[in-house]
Amino acid sequence: MHTAPILTDAIRFVQGLFEDLPSVRIRPVRASDKVAIAAMVAGLSMQTRQYRFFYPLHTLPEKILERFTHADPQSEMTLLAYTIVNGAETLVGMANYVVEQAGRRAEYAVVVDDHWQGHGIARRLLRALEEQARKAKLDCLFGEIMNDNLPMVAFARKEGFSFGKHPDDASLRVSWKSIRPAFALQGFDMERADCACHGA
């Protein structure tokens, strides 16, 4: 496991991003977070759940919760944004990536509680996730976004992601971004493991 040094550096990095929102903090997921993650997802609006999971599920299956509670930047990573309410942590956002088998790119996703949207939490989570992926020596992040999720499209574009058609689902588009300065993306192919990257 390569978790500890990578996470320590990345968490130091991201806490500095919250100087203007001191009540919100970011930390890596723990195995004990299953109940809290399930509660956060259950509290999302139906539309937010639809945009995040592509169908309006009400509860997360145990298999998904198991994946979300891994914290190894080399394979799967989850970061949680939280605040303290009545002396206890309350999750307000979550960002994940899952590394593909070839190990050079990872699929990302970000979700923020409806009541906390518009405060820059998604931006900070995504940038923290990128920092984790960069330290894990990944080349790029990619994700699927519903075409009618215009706020997410605008957000990803502002964060430097490019877009293309999804090869299998006309209701989705693919977003991608190079996260290593030495690499440039010449396009994105869902079937390729190397992100169509090459040295810049």
Q: Per residue in 73-84, pLDDT tens?
A: 778 899 999 998
Residue that wins the pLDDT comparison between 149 and 87: 149
Using the predicted structure, report yes or no on whether residue 72 has a pLDDT greater than 90. Answer: no
Residue that wins the pLDDT comparison between 126 and 22: 126
Question: How many Å apart are CA 55 and CA 98, to the nearest integer?
Answer: 20
> How high is the pLDDT of residue 13?
44
Confidence band for 164, pLDDT divided at 50, 70 and 90: very high
> How high is the pLDDT of residue 195?
53
How many Å separate Cα 132 from the centre of its chain? 11
Enumerate domains of the chain plus CATH numbers: 3-199 (3.40.630.30)
Average pLDDT over residues 40-51: 95
